[in-house]
Structure 1
């Protein structure tokens, strides 16, 4: 089967996963307040669940405000895999931006557009149904980021090329996601292999690579790594809800059914196991495009 056909089929699965699950995700706990579809990070100074959901957003704000180039106003920002727009809304409340969010999910686009109107941000944040490996005309974007969406792409090299193509010199790319620990793929442990396989299948993971591999792909695309923060110590694992999901997954593993919501449970349980056993780590990476060759 041609690679493009395989990629299209894989991305259709990602689209269905988010079309079915996004309304549930944004109703969950304080993620509904933060409009977040990413994980809580209990970093330094975090006191509430809402702050934990917004911790990565705060890191994005800090990273895009600290570049060496003069900052345009409004700043052209691009969110690759925008969910329902939570990070764009966070940025728009704190700095002048002209934001674009892209997502495979038409359900996500509709929810994001509705939230933008509700918050008076429709003129500053717009949303497109698109594949970030084949971006439509979004112009040049001073800041581009992908929060827990990079791993859904089937081709990491194309991801970095696509992102780099819309970043001017002095601009930045941020990727916050799960990355393989060096040597994890070579594990002979049967349980480790099953956890990685469940993570890939449940969460529709196409680009599970190491940070060194990500750095190499980025360098080939003309981007250099300038910051690498390991946020894994700030994740809260084995919460009561996680243990409950683990019970359901282990009991239902042999049953002959699948659904997007069940996939999210299988993947969520697997990522817990992968993080707890050191197979993957959760990193915040910042790349820039040099001002001069």
Structure 2
């Protein structure tokens, strides 16, 4: 494993995703719901959660529960797609007896993750690759794959799924926790504007309904095991979110200004994040944990 991962040469949409995370990751860590957690995904406040640190760990815990009994002890190979700075990988390493690999398109994230594994004494069990997860090496094959708020960035989920299945062992699980589109108010102008701003701001390449995902998964050789809606357990409309909404709303007065701002990673996050809040609150989007299994 290289302690200083090199960023691969990418272009188009993938390049924009890489730039987005290279520019924003350190800020994400500073403003996380639970600073110091090294988690840049959302906190999920299920009834058993008592504090922000536990909320940030909810998705990790739910995934670990769904891997239990489905990966071999001692030789397990688990891959974290879009692994960020390695927070979920560390949690998996604590609970899964085996090897944890992660892939991120961001050079900044890969470097932070590698340093964390060194601090935690996990360099022999955790490896991070700086690459496009649509172009994984042919080997090794994995007993399970997880992805938290990551596959939404894929330029084509329909093309991505078969490539993942090829690298998943028979009976292996693919666990996706992400934002999924609903059919509510489909065609309504406000909804479509909101989703377009989410796509543009958060560099979203694949936004699908769970039904669409299920059909694509079946064609790729996966079947749907579980679909868990976590939307109600998100903390939406926090003071910070309301401030961002007002700030972003001011840019709508000059459409050309917003078009320019959305190309800048910081403002892209503000614009996309505000649209995401609206989409989730109106149930045009839902935050769901999906478990798929290879036949």
Query: Match for 1:260 among 265, 268, 289?
Result: 265
C-alpha deviations, 1:192-249, integer Å up to 9, x for none? Answer: 2211111000000010000011111111111110000000110111111110111111
Determine if the alignment matches structure 1 residue 276 to structure 2 residue 281.
yes
Structure 1 residues 127-276: aligned runs within 5 Å: 127-182=128-183, 184=185, 186-188=186-188, 190-253=189-252, 254=254, 255=257, 257-258=260-261, 259-276=264-281
Q: Distance in 1 between matches of 2:235 and 2:33?
A: 15
Q: Distance in 1 between matches of 2:231 and 2:26?
A: 27
Q: Distance in 2 between matches of 1:51 and 1:176?
A: 17
Q: Distance in 1 between matches of 2:213 and 2:32?
A: 32
SS of corresponding position for 2:197: helix
Quick check: 205-214 or 85-94, which moved more?
85-94
Q: Which consecutive residues of structure 2, in runs of 5 or more, have no partner in the other structure?
A: 1-9
Runs of 4+ in 1 over 3 A off after TM superposition: 29-32
Q: Distance in 1 between matches of 2:284 and 2:16?
A: 25
Q: Distance in 2 between matches of 1:95 and 1:133?
A: 25
2:120 matched residue in structure 1: 119
Q: Distance in 2 between matches of 1:91 and 1:32?
A: 20
Query: Match for 2:37 among 34, 40, 65?
Result: 34
CA distance 1:80–1:157, shift in 2 (3 Å)? same
Paired residues, number? 280
Q: Distance in 1 between matches of 2:137 and 2:27?
A: 28
TM-score, normalising length: structure 1: 0.91
Q: Distance in 2 between matches of 1:138 and 1:239?
A: 44
1:4 matched residue in structure 2: none
1:289 matched residue in structure 2: 294
The answer as to whether partners of 1:91 and 1:97 remain within 8 angstroms in 2 is: no
2:87 matched residue in structure 1: 86
Q: Distance in 1 between matches of 2:14 and 2:46?
A: 32
The answer as to whether partners of 1:73 and 1:96 remain within 8 angstroms in 2 is: yes
Q: CA RMSD in A?
A: 1.5
